[in-house]
Amino acid sequence: MKLTKLFKSAAIGLSASMLAVSVQAADVIKIGAVAPKTGALGGGAVVTQWPNVELWSKQVNAAGGLDVGGKKMMVEIIEYDDKTNPGEHIKAAQRLAEVDKVDFIVAPYGTGFNLAAAPIYAKYNYPHIAVSAISDKMPELTARYSNLFFTLGNTTSFSESVVDILKDMRAAGTIGNRVAMVNVADAFGIELAEAARPRLKEAGFDIVYDKSYPLGTPDLSPIIKGAKESNPDAFVAWSYPPDTFALTEQAIIQDLDVKMYYTAVATCFPAFVGKFGSKINGVFGAGGVNQDSPDIQAYFKAHKDITGKDADGWASANTYVSLQILGQAIEGAGTLDRQAVIDYIKASSFDTIMGPISFEDQISNRFWTVGQWQDGKFRGVKSSQMAGAAPIVAKDGWN
């Protein structure tokens, strides 16, 4: 009895929602989004990717939609969970193009997924404004896919900026030459450590501790213990989200006394300061954002108000910017014709919450590389061509 009732109400609900879609279908821009909600990257995408899709689409619709050649059109998001599985992602991307026949797409989350989906989005000529994709092969990829744009920077600039910070701090007399460096033994961690090693040596630093740990190592206390015994002035970890948290926890427990402490991915997450509070004051991490910009402040507020979640201190803003660019390009081109929108993106400069963004050979060179926790806020301190970098401060204990 109860079950039939449930089915009935489900059926009514389903047909009602289908009806609602078909009524407004004519004046709607369909935008497809495939990204993980579950699996290894699910945790990151739920912080950085999904809330921005929700925020942007709600804001656009609250403003009456996008102006496409004089006609206001609402946006409708069609979303799929790729479960952090490339095969699943490819199928969902094909489904968006062939079955849902979406007009535009939101770029995937993660380097591997952006590249796996790139041939499909190129085939259907969707403007593909990649955010969470960091690669040193960008020129080769953009040459191959004329619809693909990169916005978050490349591996080289991330390691260079960290070395620059070390140089700055040494010049200021805050630290000496002793650097302890660790990395997660997985693609991105290995790549960054490898890029940093020669640059550190070239700059005259002593790498007094150089260790790696496998992805998913539950106990990182030996790593911090070893680093501490090497008596370093600075500690740099090319880490992933779980180890960023685990290393910092151990650094606090063992009181790793360094004036410069850096962990890479996820240091900028709201959960990081949520877990460690004031203890992580002065910690450096990958990314950054200009906390003093009124546009960014308004964005953070809207993010919290509309999605109920805090934005992170890095790629959240970039993700939102990529959607702003897409929206402005559709309005600017005045059509849903995808080639026209791509051409518009290539030729124009966009007014975004991160300031003006334009593309040179389909790559934007305006991005943050390093940020620092300063009194509860993650502030951008090093960047490529971004304004508003905060001055760096030395780490002063874990309290």
Partner 1 sequence: MTSGDVKQLVWGAILLALAACVPLVANGYWMSIALTIAMFTVLSTSWALFSGPTHYISLATAAFFGVGGFLVGTGMSDYNTDYWTMVVIASLAGTVLAFLVGLATLRLSGVYFVIFTLGLAEMIRTLVSWIQNNFTGSRGLYVLTDLGEADIYIHLVLVAALVYLAGWWIARSRLGFAMRIIGNDEMVARHVGINTAFSKVILFTFSGFVASLVGALIAPRYTYIEPNGVFSPELSFIVVIMALLGGTGRLWGPIVGVIPFALLQEYINANYSNYSTLVLGIAFLVIVYFLPHGVLGRLEETWAKRRRSTW
The site for partner 1 (CB under 8 A) is made up of 37-38, 40, 79-81, 83, 85-88, 90-92, 94-95, 97-99, 111-112, 115-116, 118-120, 123-124, 135-137, 140, 144, 183, 185-187, 190-191, 194, 212, 214-215
Q: How far is the CB of 263 from partner 1 (least distance, A)?
A: 18
Whichever of 94 and 365 has its CB closer to partner 1, that residue is 94
Q: Which is nearer to partner 1, 116 or 321 (CB)?
A: 116
Q: Which is nearer to partner 1, 71 or 123 (CB)?
A: 123
Which residue, among 139, 67, 101, 111, has the nearest Cα to 329 in the 3D structure? 67
Other C-beta atoms closer than 10 Å to the C-beta of 67 total 15
CA dihedral defined by 88, 92, 98, 101, rounded to 10 degrees? -170
Rounded (5°) CA angle 227-233-234:
70
Q: At 99, list the tokens.
A: 């079955």
Q: What angle do CA 271, 296, 51 make, to 5 degrees?
A: 50
Residue 302 DSSP SS3: helix
Largest CA distance in the chain: 77
Minimum distance, C-beta of residue 167 to partner 1, in the bound complex (Å): 24
Cα 185 to Cα 191: distance, rounded to the nearest angstrom: 9
Please report how close the Cβ of residue 327 comes to partner 1 at its closest, in angstroms: 24
Residue with token string 């106990």: 219
> Could you tell me the smallest distance in angstroms from the CB atom of residue 37 to partner 1?
7
- Nearest to partner 1 of 204, 214 (CB atom): 214
Closer residue to partner 1 in complex, CB, 115/323: 115
81 or 233: CB nearest partner 1: 81
Query: For partner 1, which is the closer residue by CB, 140 or 396?
Result: 140
Angle among Cα 128, 134, 138 to the nearest 5 degrees reads: 65
Residue 67's contacts (CB-CB under 8 Å, 6 or more residues apart) are 73, 331
Q: Which of 50, 27, 10 is nearest to 320 (CA)?
A: 50
Tokens for 307? 């999605």
Least Å from the CB of residue 116 to partner 1: 5
CB of 79 to partner 1, least distance (A): 7
Bridge partners (DSSP) listed for residue 375: none
Closest distance of CB 108 from partner 1, Å: 11
Question: Alpha-carbon distance 232 to 176, whole Å?
Answer: 9
65 contact partners, CB below 8 Å, separation of at least 6: 27, 29, 72, 73, 74, 75
Question: Cβ closer to partner 1: 101 or 301?
Answer: 101
Task: Compute the least distance from the CB of residue 148 to partner 1, in Å.
Answer: 12
With a CB cutoff of 8 Å and minimum separation 6, the contacts of 109 are 35, 36, 41, 44, 45, 48, 49, 131, 132
Q: How far is the CB of 276 from partner 1 (least distance, A)?
A: 27
* Nearer of residues 71 and 144 to partner 1, judged by Cβ: 144
Nearer to partner 1, 168 or 186 (CB): 186
Q: Smallest distance from the beta carbon of 120 to partner 1, in angstroms?
A: 7
Distance (Å) of CA 308 to CA 20, 31, 48, 61, 194: 26, 23, 13, 18, 39
